[in-house]
Structure 1
Amino acid sequence: MTARTARRLRSLVAGLAALLVLAVIAAGLAFTQRQSAVTAQRTAQSRQLAAQSGALLDTNPDLAALLAVQAYRTSRTVEAVPGLYTAAALPLRYRLTEHSAQVWSVAFSPDGRTLATASDDGTVRLWNTATGRVRATLTGHEGVSGSLAFAPDGRTLAVGGEGGVRLWNVATGTVRARFPGQGAVWAVAFSADGRTVAGGGGDDGTVRLWDAATGRLRATLTGHTGPVRSVAFSRDGRTLATGSSDGTVRLWNLTLLDPKQSVDKICAATHRGFTPLERATYLGGRRDTACRG
């Protein structure tokens, strides 16, 4: 190989090396530009998702939380990070959507593990509060079911509605007993010992007390001039509070449900009998409730 040929070969190798370096640099620049474009696109998408999440926080918190997570996964922008924390701090645990009509009443079981919901769709659903899943669907109600109450032991659910009151076995989803009402029953409650069920709601303004074990009607409380919308027992079970659309709340002494027993206590306190006016006003003119002795 001559010196001239060697010089040409070296020049050729140097030229090829320079071209290779330029090609590598060009490829690197193209890759960097592409990565910058992808990063810019992901950043824009993340910011858009974060903005959508923030706009939906009040109206659709479920979707807002999902968008916040997606925004963070797309790109950890200064908008996505606080949006994720905000979504995580939302108080909503579950959105229960199985009912097909408006929900009138909800009630937790005493242990908090079950939620009962009553709806216009004619069903009562029992939900697992830990998972948000339906445990059972109670059907067969006549019309709207408007009131719910768990027994103190959580084993029985009272459902009031247009057909009166039904007692359901929570474990089996079967009806234990039916208590007919005069019209719809829009308020139900169990006494603290679970032995008595109170129900009110009919247009006659009455409240009925049933024996939870036998279904026997223990008493009918009258006096309200409008439908009774709420009922509640005191802890000791001796007093029942009732609220009515007539604008009044009444406290009933449940230890005086027997008329004769009530008359005896009144007579002992007043040391006299009833006047004709008192008998007509308070006792319906009955003669079998005179003071003894």
Structure 2
Amino acid sequence: MILATVSDDKVWKMWAFPSGELIMSAHLATASGDGTVKIWDFGKGVATLTLGDHTQAVWGCSFHDQGDFLASCSMDHTAKLWDITTGKCRQTFRGHADSVNHVGFTLSLWDARTGLCSQTLYGHINAINHVAFSLRGDTVASCDSDGIVKFWDIRNVSELESIDVGPHAANKLAFDPAGNVLAIASNDGSTKTYNIRDKQRGKDLGSGDDAIQAVAFDRSGDFLVTAGSDCMVRVYQ
């Protein structure tokens, strides 16, 4: 039960969850505006590997479940697949005409072996800030700078539903482990919730002037963590 946070203060921190005790443990990758991805050794407190093939800012990165590979996405219009053991870029995914803002592993959108795009989902009319897959892997949610959230059926390559939580931008998404609730980090300072099964908006969590930048459920689904531009991490039960 460990929570990792990263901040514009250029510091990453690890916390025991949900007690909030600051610790250092596990394996962490960070993506930076300097165009690099770094892998950190907590015991030594230093970066042991720097991945630097991107030519512009790196907006996000994601470990494969087995931990041997890492995907990154960048302002340079590409996503890359990295072999952590060798520190080499195994594949560059090209096809976006603008910045790639988020990356995640699935079985159907990109073929990691060939680097070819297998499906493209159309429907947003403004910048897409984040995507999140349900644990079953058959549904993906996406959100954009207008506050529009869309649900997609990956198997049929079709839009299932669209909801509007704007006019403020929706920055990040998270499914609960059961796949019934979606949490949405909003630029208006609140976290929106949506019950997917009942197709109903839930209670907004928090309020303030500073944007919510990230949301995450713990593996049991009992806790929701939010991170904001006010430099605060909040835990909801």
Is 1:116 the counterpart of 2:58? The answer is no
Rounded Cα–Cα distance in structure 2 between residues aligned with 1:257 and 1:211? 16
What TM-score comes out, normalization by structure 1 length? Answer: 0.51
Instruction: Report the Cα distance in structure 1 between the residues aligned to 2:188 and 2:167, rounded to whole angstroms.
Output: 6
1:142-221 aligned at under 5 Å gives the runs 142-151=97-106, 155-156=107-108, 167-180=109-122, 181-203=124-146, 205-221=147-163
- The 5-angstrom pairing of residues 56-95 of structure 1 reads 89=44, 91-95=46-50
Match of 1:141 in 2: 96
- The code of the aligned residue for 1:143 comes to D
Offset from partner CA, 1:116-148 (integer Å, 9 cap, x none): 111111111100011110010001211100111
Paired with 2:199 and 2:125, the residues of 1 have a C-alpha distance of 20
Please tell me whether the aligned partners of residues 243 and 249 of structure 1 are also in contact (alpha carbons under 8 angstroms).
Answer: yes
What's the TM-score once normalised by structure 2's chain length?
0.63
Measured against aligned partners, the alpha-carbon deviations of 1:45-70 in whole angstroms (never above 9, x if no partner) come to: xxxxxxxxxxxxxxxxxxxxxxxxxx
C-alpha separation in 1, matches of 2:194 and 2:139: 14
Hey, what does 1:251 align to over in structure 2?
193
What letter is aligned with 1:232?
Answer: A
| Offset at residue 246 of structure 1 (A) | 1.6
Alignment counterpart, residue 103 of structure 1, candidates 58, 62, 72? 58
Superposed CA RMSD in Å reads 1.7
Q: Give the residue type in structure 2 aligned to 1:177.
A: Q
Deviation digits for residues 211-269 of structure 1 (CA, Å, limit 9, x no counterpart): 011111011122332111000111110111111112111111000239xxxxxxxxxxx
Give the aligned residue type for 1:122.
H
Q: What is the CA–CA distance in structure 2 between the aligned matches of 1:193 and 1:171, rounded to whole Å? A: 22
SS in structure 2 of the partner of residue 110 of structure 1: coil
Which amino acid letter does the alignment assign opposite residue 187 of structure 1? H
Amino acid across the alignment from 1:129 = I
Q: Which amino acid aligns with 1:169?
A: D
CA–CA separation in structure 1 for the residues paired with 2:49 and 2:183: 33
1:186 match: secondary structure: strand
Between 1 and 2, higher relative CO (CA 8 Å, sep ≥ 6) is seen in 2
Aligned pair in 2 of structure 1 residues 127, 207: CA closer, same or farther (>3 Å)?
same
**Structure 1 residue 90: Cα displacement:** 5.0
- Give the drift of 1:182: 2.1
Q: Percent identity?
A: 30
1:243 alignment partner, SS class: strand
Q: Structure 1: which 5+ residue stretches go unaligned?
A: 1-87, 157-166, 259-293
Q: Distance in 1 between matches of 2:159 and 2:172?
A: 19
Q: Distance in 2 between matches of 1:182 and 1:251?
A: 22
Q: What is residue 129 of structure 1 aligned with on the other side?
A: 84
